[in-house]
Amino acid sequence: MFDYEKRTALLRAELRKRKLDAFITSFLPHVRYLTGYSGSNGLCVITDSAVTLLTDFRYQEQIETEVPYASKQIVRGDLFVAAIKKKNLFSQSDTIAFEEDYLPVISFQVMKKNLSGARLIPSNGIVEALTAVKEESEIALIRKAASITEQVFEKILGVLKPGITESAIAAEISYLHRMFGAEKDSFDTIVASGVRGSLPHGAASAKKIQKGEMVTLDFGCVYQGYCSDLTRTVAVGTPSSEAKKIYRIVLDAQRAAINAARIGFPARKLDESARSFIEKKGYGKFFGHGLGHGIGLQIHESPRVFAKSTHVLHTGNVITIEPGIYLPGKCGVRIEDDVVIRDGTCEVITSSPKELIVL
């Protein structure tokens, strides 16, 4: 399904540009992106002549079906120690790139001690630049994950009612995700009702939903490794006039951002397109997080969409657009969609209703 040879060719081109001989990573989303391996213990080494995946006995059969391109090595003990002992892996490598954002200190110390003849170069952003631009096959999987989450949302509307706990809603979401074909939730489901709606990442609690409350539902699933992320805020019973007011502001701000999203547009400007709208309505100080983030094999990845972002949108970026207003002691509203940046347009993947739903 994926062109791993092309991915590693692009990575090698970047290594040559930076005058680096080898690249090593144990960060599992990047290992999977480069090799196809989905296990819980893996190390990938890429040189100009080879791609090598190291893992342990538990995954011996799994890698035969998952890893079509890389050389596969089953080893014992610490993967970094095993990689260093295989002298041929680094025999032609004077400079070795590693991902300092993800490399455990103990693993770095192992390399520093045992690869004394090589220079270890912290090199962040190499794989992130590749994963930020999705292949059509990746977009198709994100779309499928999003469709599963949307089916779940439709079902959850029939479950939301006064007296049910936030935790019960979260549990039902997880159950339905799997029933509709997902591997798992892509993150811990957020269910925040009433005054808890002012918590942008309010984990589902034992609180019972009350009549007249707004309920923010932020959830997603994983399908064949790829994530979805959807937020909708609904009312259980007639909401207050202020709640309805901020709902309209958030919805209009989100639509403004979606209309602005296009290739070549700075991510910080996209954030500003929604933030400035909310500020003009007098609620700027109640929107404290970034507008969105990339999604893919991780629920949060490049490009980041926030006020200080240095990213510029490219064709193939898949990002969330999720403005919110959070009023302490009252309520909160967030609306989020997954979108693909295309040539000349912004394609919205998620299609669940966004006009305020009153149950």
353 within a domain of the structure (yes/no): no
What confidence tier does 185 reach under pLDDT thresholds 50, 70, 90? very high
Among 92, 115, 131, identify where a domain stops.
131
Does 149 share its domain with 268? yes
Pairing of strands 22-25, 71-74: unpaired
DSSP code per residue over 206-218: SPBP-TTEEEEEE
Is residue 354 domain-resident?
Answer: no
Question: Distance between CA atoms of 296 and 311, rounded to whole angstroms?
Answer: 17
Rounded average pLDDT over 290-302: 98
List the one residue out of 227, 147, 154, 225 whose CA is nearest residue 186.
Answer: 227
Residue 357 belongs to a domain: no
H helix runs in 261-308, sequence order: 267-280
Domain holding 94: CATH number? 3.40.350.10
What average pLDDT does the structure give for the chain? 96
Q: Token match 């979606």: residue?
A: 258
* 141 and 281 share one domain: yes
Q: How many domains does the chain have?
A: 2
Which tokens belong to 338? 């997954």
Tokens of 146: 């999003």
Q: Residue written as tokens 């045992």?
A: 114
What does the block give as tokens for 9?
């060719």
- Domain hosting 60: range is 4-131
pLDDT at 267: 98
Query: Could you give phi then psi for residue 348, rounded to 5 degrees?
Result: -85, 120
Domain boundary among 71, 97, 131: 131
Q: Is residue 105 part of a domain?
A: yes
Render pLDDT for 19-33 as a digit per residue (tens, 0 to 9).
999 999 999 999 999
Instruction: Please state, in angstroms and rounded to a whole number, the distance separating the CA atoms of residues 199 and 185.
Output: 20
Q: Which of 243, 285, 292 is nearest to 265 (CA)?
A: 292
Do residue 171 and residue 62 come from a single domain? no
**How many other C-beta atoms can be found within 10 angstroms of the C-beta atom of residue 304?**
21
- Name the residue with tokens 């296990």: 39
Residue type, 228: S
CA dist., res. 339 & res. 331, Å (int): 27
226 and 170 fall within a common domain: yes
Same domain membership, residue 191 and residue 42: no
Helix-helix angle 267-280:241-260, to 10 degrees = 150
State yes or no: pLDDT of 87 exceeds 80: no
Question: Diameter of the chain by CA atoms?
Answer: 70
pLDDT of residue 99: 96
pLDDT value of residue 220: 98
62 touches 40 (CB < 8 A): no
Q: How confident is the model at residue 98 (pLDDT cuts 50, 70, 90)?
A: very high
pLDDT at position 63 over 90 = yes
How far apart, in whole angstroms, are the C-alpha atoms of residue 209 and residue 166? 7
The pTM assigned to this predicted structure is 0.96
